Amino acid sequence: MASEQDDFLFAEHDDQAQEEAISTFWDVLVVDDDPEIHSVTKLALSNVEFWGRNIRFFHAYSGHEAIDVLRENPSISILLLDVVMETDDAGLKVVQRVRDELKNDAVRIILRTGQPGYAPEEKVIREYDINDYKMKTELTRSKLVTSLLTAIRSYQQICELEAQREALEEIVSASRAILGYSDMQTFSLAVIRQLAYLLHAPEDGLVCGYLEDKQLTVFGGSEQYQSFFGKGIEQLDNGRTIMQVKNCLESESHQFTPHDVTLLLESKGRKAAIYLELEAEPSASQLKFVEIFLTNVCVGLDNVKLFNELRNVAYKDALTKLPNRANFVEKIAEYYKGNEGLLFVLIDIAQFSDINNGLGQEVGNLLLLSVAERIELEFPKAKLVSRIGADVFGLLLPEHSFDETLFQDSLTVPYQVGEHVLTIHFHIGICKQGDFQPQGLETLKLAYIALNQAKQSSIALDWYTAELEERMAWKLGLIRQLRQDFEQRKLEVWYQPQFAIDQRRVIGCEALLRWPSGNGSYISPAIFVPLAENAGLIVEIGQWVLEQACQLQKKLADSGRDMSVAVNVSVPQFKVPNYAQQVRDTILAFDVVPSSIELEVTESVLMDEVNTVVRTLQELQEFGVEVAIDDFGTGFSSLSYLQKLPISRLKIDRAFIKDIPEQDSGAIAELVISLGRHLGLKTIAEGVETEEQMGVLEKLGCDEVQGFLLAKPMPEQQLLSFLDKTK
The strands making up 255-256's β-sheet, listed across from edge to edge, are: 216-221, 205-210, 270-277, 260-267, 255-256
Give the sign of the dihedral formed by CA 613, CA 616, CA 620, CA 622.
positive
Q: Cα separation of 345 and 427, whole Å?
A: 10
List of residues 6+ apart from 616 with CB closer than 8 A: 574, 579, 580
CATH class of 316-464: alpha beta
- All CATH 3.30.70.270 domain ranges in the chain, comma separated: 316-464
Q: Cα separation of 368 and 390, whole Å?
A: 9
> Is 492-725 assigned to CATH 3.40.50.300?
no
Q: Cα separation of 381 and 422, whole Å?
A: 26
Query: Could you tell me the pLDDT band of residue 305, with boundaries at 50, 70 and 90?
Result: very low
Q: What is the mean pLDDT of residues 699-716?
A: 94
Q: What percent of the chain has pLDDT over 90?
A: 31
* SS3 at position 338: coil
Write out pLDDT tens, residues 320-333.
989 888 888 888 88
- All CATH 3.40.50.2300 domain ranges in the chain, comma separated: 2-164
By residue count, the chain amounts to: 727
**Per-residue pLDDT at 11:** 34
- All CATH 3.20.20.450 domain ranges in the chain, comma separated: 492-725
Q: What is the mean pLDDT of residues 503-522?
A: 90
**Per-residue pLDDT at 486:** 87
- Residue 263 phi/psi, 5-degree rounding, is -110, 130
Write out pLDDT tens, residues 634-656.
655 456 667 777 888 999 988 89
Residue of higher predicted confidence among 682 and 17: 682
Residue of higher predicted confidence among 150 and 300: 150
Give the sign of the dihedral formed by CA 127, CA 128, CA 134, CA 136.
negative
Residue 229 has pLDDT above 80, yes or no: yes
DSSP 412-431: HS-EEETTEEE---EEEEEE
The DSSP 8-state label assigned to residue 120 in this structure reads -
The DSSP 8-state label assigned to residue 131 in this structure reads S
**Per-residue pLDDT at 4:** 36
Q: Cα separation of 391 and 346, whole Å?
A: 10
Task: Identify the H or E element spanning 629.
Answer: strand 626-632
List of residues 6+ apart from 186 with CB closer than 8 A: 220
List of residues 6+ apart from 535 with CB closer than 8 A: 479, 482, 483
Residue 467 has pLDDT above 70, yes or no: yes
**Per-residue pLDDT at 3:** 39
Write out pLDDT tens, residues 176-208.
666 556 567 788 888 888 888 888 889 899 998
**Per-residue pLDDT at 8:** 35
- Residue 180 phi/psi, 5-degree rounding, is 90, -5
Residue 106 has pLDDT above 70, yes or no: yes
Residue 222 has pLDDT above 70, yes or no: yes
- All CATH 3.30.450.40 domain ranges in the chain, comma separated: 178-311
CB 118 within 8 A of CB 85: no
Q: What is the mean pLDDT of residues 485-514?
A: 92
Q: What percent of the chain has pLDDT over 70?
A: 87
Considering the domain 2-164 in this protein, what is its CATH number?
3.40.50.2300
Short-list 263, 43, 238, CA closest to 139 = 43
Residue 162 has pLDDT above 90, yes or no: no
Q: Cα separation of 493 and 541, whole Å?
A: 11
CB neighbour class for 205 (10 Å; exposed up to 12, middle 13-18, buried from 19): buried
List of residues 6+ apart from 584 with CB closer than 8 A: 594, 619, 620, 623, 625
Number of other residues whose CB lies within 10 A of the CB of residue 365 = 14
**Per-residue pLDDT at 9:** 33
CATH T-level fold of 178-311: Beta-Lactamase (3.30.450)
